[in-house]
């Protein structure tokens, strides 16, 4: 079995929901609200292990999942479009694709605004000045507005890993040490 198959199936399901949600928000001239909803959902998924469990666990009954996600959506003050979509997804047992949905909606919103999203992983959290400078450098290379999605990975030791589209720039000390290790193996 191809290991990427479940991820691509989830991404495909999420892409269909993202298209519908995006089109509804665009028709209603509610893209700003959708963008806020997406960021709120992304933060909730990142911060709440309980939410991740509710959307991923098959142990919860369909109606329990639906009630839970609608209550969470109301508490987070998500738009009606997003609340209805989450309720529909829960009713069809599709909440497990929520992380993929967030990613797909971010991509559509960025494309609408002419932005490119750069995934940046650093050893330490970037300061505002560092993030602004990185965005400026990337904008000069890519030619479009850059929106940074940052994450921290202590295993990098130092440096950055930047992904923009299909390009990846790895300046981490971890990768440099791995290269040095491979070079030393070749010599001896």
Domain that holds residue 66: 4-110
In this prediction, residue 3 carries a pLDDT of 46
CA torsion 22-23-28-29 (nearest 10°) is 60
94, 110, 126 - which closes a domain: 110
pLDDT in tens, 41-61: 999 999 999 999 989 888 889
57, 87, 110 - which closes a domain: 110
Rounded to two decimals, the pTM is 0.70
Own/partner pairs for 73-80, CB < 8 Å, 24+ apart? 76/40, 76/41, 76/44, 77/40, 78/37, 78/40, 78/41, 79/25, 79/30, 79/33, 79/34, 79/37
List for the chain the helix, strand, coil content (%; round to 5): 70, 15, 20
Query: What's the domain count of the chain?
Result: 2
110, 143, 161 - which closes a domain: 110
| Statement to judge: residues 50 and 142 lie in one domain | no
């Amino acid at each position: 079995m191809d290991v990427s198959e479940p991820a691509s199936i989830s991404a495909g399901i999420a892409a269909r929901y993202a298209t519908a949600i995006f089109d509804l928000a665009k028709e209603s001239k509610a893209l700003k609200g959708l963008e806020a909803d997406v960021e709120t959902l992304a933060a909730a998924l990142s911060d709440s292990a309980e939410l991740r469990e509710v959307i991923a666990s098959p142990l919860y009954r369909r109606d329990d999942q639906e009630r839970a996600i609608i209550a969470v959506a109301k508490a987070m003050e998500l738009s009606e479009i997003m609340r209805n979509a989450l309720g529909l997804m829960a009713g069809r047992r599709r909440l497990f694709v929520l992380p993929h949905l967030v990613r797909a909606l971010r991509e559509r919103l960025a494309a609408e605004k002419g932005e490119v999203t750069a995934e940046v992983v650093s050893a330490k959290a970037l300061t505002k000045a560092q993030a602004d400078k990185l965005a400026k450098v990337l904008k000069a290379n890519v030619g479009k507005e850059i929106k940074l999605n940052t994450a921290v990975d202590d295993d990098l030791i130092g440096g950055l890993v930047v992904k923009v589209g299909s390009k990846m720039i790895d300046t981490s000390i971890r990768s440099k040490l791995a290269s040095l290790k491979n070079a030393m193996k070749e010599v001896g």
